[in-house]
Amino acid sequence: MGQTVTLTASDGFRLGGYRAGLDSRSKGAIVVIQEIFGVNSHIRNICDRLANEGYVALAPAIFDRIEPDFQSGYSPDEVAVARKFVAAPDWPAMLRDTQAAIDAVKNAGPVGIIGFCLGGSIAYAAATKLTGLRAAVGYYGGAIVRFADDRPAVPTQLHFGEKDTGIPLTDVETIKAKRPEVEVFVYPGAQHGFGCDERASYDKASSDLAWQRSLAFFGKNLK
């Protein structure tokens, strides 16, 4: 459904991306931020699903500065390789590339952002630091607790799994305490990555509910 595109960040760096949906028929746009596995089939599928909901969706390849067109699956060996990309994350660079994606879809209407894993943290940071957004949704972003002193400038919704071994519930409670204006949902029994049907941790019931909540949130705020 979508196509590969090229984006240009504010520092002149050119990165790839995947874009789905038609500007002429859109009710807005949503930037989709990847997990540590690149703009892979899961992220492209998220874009396609959003396009089917009437949005223009764009996923910037935020690892292109390290390895162009990196994509990965979810086997233990692939996970180990992918983790190397975030051993020392360059948050400013990833946010520059995220801003490039926001700017690239602004003509399609109000712009939201959704991110998963690493992308969930970036989506939250984008809500506090970037321009051109109207709403932000983050799924199981492990670094959000470190950014929680920063107040989002737009309505923000977050999703966490109760059994996520990488994000203790104490972190989620800290986020709730520091940011009472943010919608925070915790899914009983769900693990990290529960929203990805290509992962062993996929939880269909939690994923479906989180997706419904995300679409309703965008429907309310992207007007």
- pLDDT single digits (tens) 119-176: 999 999 999 999 999 999 999 999 999 999 999 999 999 999 999 999 999 999 999 9
Please indicate whether residue 195 or residue 23 has the higher confidence score (pLDDT): 195
End-to-end CA distance of the chain: 25
Alpha-carbon span 124 to 126, nearest angstrom: 5
Question: Checking DSSP bridges between strand 14-20 and strand 3-8, what pairing results, if any?
Answer: antiparallel
Residue 101 pLDDT exceeds 80:
yes
Alpha-carbon span 55 to 27, nearest angstrom: 6
Q: Quick one: average pLDDT of 38-49?
A: 98
Percent of the chain with pLDDT over 90: 97
SS3 93: helix
- Cα distances from 93 to residues 12, 112, 136, 153, 208, in angstroms, run 11, 20, 19, 20, 32
- In this prediction, residue 140 carries a pLDDT of 98
Q: Quick one: average pLDDT of 193-198?
A: 98
Please indicate whether residue 24 or residue 17 has the higher confidence score (pLDDT): 17
- In this prediction, residue 24 carries a pLDDT of 75
Residue 25 pLDDT exceeds 80:
no
- In this prediction, residue 44 carries a pLDDT of 98
Alpha-carbon span 79 to 36, nearest angstrom: 8
Alpha-carbon span 7 to 85, nearest angstrom: 20
- In this prediction, residue 1 carries a pLDDT of 76
The token duo for 55 is 């949005």
Residue 11 pLDDT exceeds 90:
yes
What confidence category does residue 17 fall into, taking pLDDT thresholds of 50, 70 and 90?
Answer: very high
Residue 22 pLDDT exceeds 90:
no
- In this prediction, residue 63 carries a pLDDT of 98
Q: Which residues pair with 161 in a beta bridge?
A: 187
Backbone φ and ψ for 151, nearest 5 degrees, come out as -85, 130
**92 alpha-carbon distance from chain centroid:** 16
User: 81: closest CA among 92, 70, 89?
Assistant: 70
Residues assigned a catalytic role? 117, 164, 192
The token duo for 73 is 């699956």
Note whether 195 and 108 are within 8 A (CB): no
What confidence category does residue 53 fall into, taking pLDDT thresholds of 50, 70 and 90?
Answer: very high
Residue 16 pLDDT exceeds 90:
yes
The token duo for 173 is 């409670």
Domains for the chain: give ranges and CATH numbers.
3-221 (3.40.50.1820)
Backbone φ and ψ for 113, nearest 5 degrees, come out as -140, 140
- In this prediction, residue 62 carries a pLDDT of 98
Note whether 124 and 140 are within 8 A (CB): no
Alpha-carbon span 157 to 182, nearest angstrom: 6
